[in-house]
């Protein structure tokens, strides 16, 4: 594989599983030195690092709650000191409501605040911490991993939709503010992706296979996406091949948002 990111420093938040892991491993395969951020999933983050090292790459574990500014600043400083460069940030961390139904009349303030703190504030804080490096070197790429739920509503996902929609518009705003510094800011909005989280959701359904089939049919390509497919798009957006792309919110969803909601038969 081409080493498009040889010598580059990359930070991926929420890299202990799923899309974050696939992104971290992809950048490492292309020569980047990768910071693997996690909060609670230490076992998953260690597995991600093992995959990076076993593939001949270089990485480091960066435990931090991205909703806390001191933790974020310390994480970014540690990465910059270890790798002597910081070139790409992927804001991937994301959560949903933990204990209450995610509808406005039912969600607890605690759950709402935590979703916003991780999904939106965390995106802002991590971007803020890396921007001082990017602005000084007058280059850099920030990629925010939002969701199709940042583009379309969904029942019982009030805080999630609001936070992911905020990521989409924050992407466009940051693209405006930092283009003059040579910094590109883009957003990926994944559809239904076959991650551990998605598999757990399916396992809780009365008929997991029927549920999987239904989600597959929602995409025009009639299948569930793979984390590696999101990672490929992420690597493209961070590369010189995308040097004229900024401020974009790109749906990677098998065509789901092209038709809104498909009739499932």
Q: What are the angstrom distances between the C-alpha of 208 and each of 194, 200, 202, 204?
A: 13, 10, 5, 7
Asked whether residue 114 is assigned to any structural domain, the reply reads yes
Asked whether residue 190 is assigned to any structural domain, the reply reads yes
**Cβ atoms of residues 41 and 17 within 8 Å:** yes
Alpha-carbon span 106 to 100, nearest angstrom: 7
Asked whether residue 209 is assigned to any structural domain, the reply reads no
* In the predicted structure, residue 264 carries a pLDDT above the cut 80: no
Tens of pLDDT, residue by residue over 226-263, are 999 999 999 999 999 999 999 999 999 999 999 866 56
**Domain enclosing residue 190, as ranges:** 9-195+226-251
Asked whether residue 118 is assigned to any structural domain, the reply reads yes
In this prediction, residue 68 carries a pLDDT of 98
Of 38, 133, 160, 256, which residue is the catalytic one? 160
Say what the pTM is.
0.96
In this prediction, residue 156 carries a pLDDT of 94
Question: What CATH number is given to the structural domain containing 93?
Answer: 3.40.50.720
Q: Is 201 a catalytic residue?
A: no
- The domain tally of the chain equals 1
Q: Name the β-bridge partners of 10.
A: 34, 88
Tens of pLDDT, residue by residue over 160-207, are 999 999 999 999 999 999 999 999 999 999 999 999 888 988 888 999
Tens of pLDDT, residue by residue over 111-133, are 999 999 999 999 999 999 999 99
């Amino acid at each position: 594989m081409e080493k498009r990111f040889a010598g580059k420093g990359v930070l991926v938040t929420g890299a202990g599983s799923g899309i974050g892991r696939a992104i971290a491993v992809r950048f490492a395969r292309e020569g980047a030195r990768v910071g693997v951020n996690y909060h609670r999933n230490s076992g998953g983050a260690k597995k991600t690092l093992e995959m990076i090292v076993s593939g001949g790459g270089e990485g480091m574990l960066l435990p931090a709650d991205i909703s806390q500014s001191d933790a974020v600043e310390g994480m970014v400083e540690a990465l910059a000191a270890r790798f002597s460069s910081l070139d790409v940030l992927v804001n991937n961390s994301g959560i949903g409501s933990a204990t209450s139904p995610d509808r406005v009349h039912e969600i607890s303030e605690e759950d709402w605040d935590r979703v916003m703190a991780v999904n939106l504030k965390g995106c802002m804080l991590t971007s803020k911490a890396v921007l001082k490096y990017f602005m000084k070197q007058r280059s850099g790429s920030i990629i925010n991993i939002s969701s199709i739920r940042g583009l379309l509503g969904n029942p019982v996902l009030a805080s999630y939709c609001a936070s992911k929609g905020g990521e989409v518009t924050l992407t466009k705003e940051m693209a405006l503010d930092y283009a003059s510094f040579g910094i590109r800011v883009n957003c990926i909005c994944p559809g239904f992706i076959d991650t551990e989280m998605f598999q757990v959701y399916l396992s809780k359904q009365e008929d997991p296979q029927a549920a999987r089939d239904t989600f597959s049919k929602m995409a025009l390509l009639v299948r569930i996406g793979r984390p590696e497919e999101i990672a490929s798009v992420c690597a493209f957006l961070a590369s010189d091949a995308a040097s004229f792309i900024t401020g974009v919110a790109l749906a990677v969803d098998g065509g789901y948002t092209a038709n809104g909601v498909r009739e499932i038969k």
